[in-house]
A and B are shown apart, each in its own frame.
Chain A
Amino acid sequence: ETGVTQTPRHLVMGMTNKKSLKCEQHLGHNAMYWYKQSAKKPLELMFVYSLEERVENNSVPSRFSPECPNSSHLFLHLHTLQPEDSALYLCASSQDTGLGPFGELFFGEGSRLTVL
């Protein structure tokens, strides 16, 4: 049990589909993240939300659209994806006090996305 739950764990979609990834954190944290994990590449930060406001958008294509309705939930809406978007998408959370050093990230188990 990680405290960060991601659904679905596996998703196969066509290039014309619209789907969403969901993340829920049960840790009372105030910051949430989407990362992309591809083979032999560093984890790529996609989006950061702090106190439900987007504070980082790492030049992610518009076919990825995040939504953070509250501090416990984070969505990644997907539409007209490309095969190269196939990857493991990780959600993470952290507690940002804004006062001291950045703390650790708590990760979910990821959603494995395959785009056909």
Chain B
Amino acid sequence: AQSVSQHNHHVILSEAASLELGCNYSYGGTVNLFWYVQYPGQHLQLLLKYFSGDPLVKGIKGFEAEFIKSKFSFNLRKPSVQWSDTAEYFCAVNSGGYQKVTFGTGTKLQVIP
């Protein structure tokens, strides 16, 4: 079965620091990749997605992610975080022929002003 690993469970950064959150998945075939974000007290929402083409994907609020097929990775990055980026971030992978998405355990990001 497909699995998704997020290596960091809790990350604390100061404002303006750079961010990289790791995500690795286990499936070797064609995948669709997602990062979702859950701000405190809010619903899960899509941050960015990769289906095909350029492996460097840009999302909302200055986030980007790079798909490295050989490493089965889809790491999330942001060059300079803000206090408002404090949230929980979930990596997700779809490898099924129908609507089936596997999520990682999430990474809680705390940005200190």
State whether B42 touches A31 (Cβ < 8 A).
no
Kindly supply a per-residue 1/0 record for chain A positions 72-92, scoring 1 wherever the CB is within 8 Å of any chain B CB and 0 otherwise.
Answer: 000000000000000000101
Give B contacts to A, CB under 8 Å: 4, 9, 32, 34, 36, 42-46, 49, 51-52, 90, 94, 96, 98-106
Q: Which residues of A contact B46 (CB under 8 A)?
A: 104-105
State whether B103 touches A42 (Cβ < 8 A).
yes
State whether A101 touches B52 (Cβ < 8 A).
yes
State whether A50 touches B34 (Cβ < 8 A).
no
Name the residue among A42, A56, A94, A96 with the largest chain B CB count within 10 angstroms. Answer: A42
State whether A104 touches B49 (Cβ < 8 A).
yes
State whether A96 and B99 are in contact (beta carbons under 8 Å apart), knowing that A43-B90, A104-B34 are contacts in the complex.
yes
State whether B43 touches A102 (Cβ < 8 A).
no
The interface stretch among A10-18, A19-27, A60-68, A106-114 is A106-114
Give A contacts to B, CB under 8 Å: 2, 4, 31, 33, 40-43, 45, 48, 50, 55-56, 90, 92, 94, 96, 101-102, 104-105, 107-110
Residue from B43, B102, B105 in contact with A107 in the complex, judged by beta carbons closer than 8 Å: B43
Q: How far is the CA of A31 from the CA of B96 in the complex (A)?
A: 15
CB of A59 to closest CB in B, whole Å: 11
Q: Which residues of A contact B4 (CB under 8 A)?
A: 42
Contacts A2-B45, A92-B44, A105-B101 aside, 15 further interface pairs with beta carbons under 8 A come to: A42-B4, A42-B102, A42-B106, A45-B102, A96-B98, A101-B94, A102-B32, A102-B101, A105-B36, A105-B44, A105-B46, A107-B36, A107-B45, A108-B43, A109-B43
State whether A94 touches B99 (Cβ < 8 A).
yes
State whether B9 touches A40 (Cβ < 8 A).
yes
State whether A107 and B99 are in contact (beta carbons under 8 Å apart), knowing that A40-B9, A40-B105, A43-B90 are contacts in the complex.
no
Q: How far is the CA of A31 from the CA of B99 in the complex (A)?
A: 8
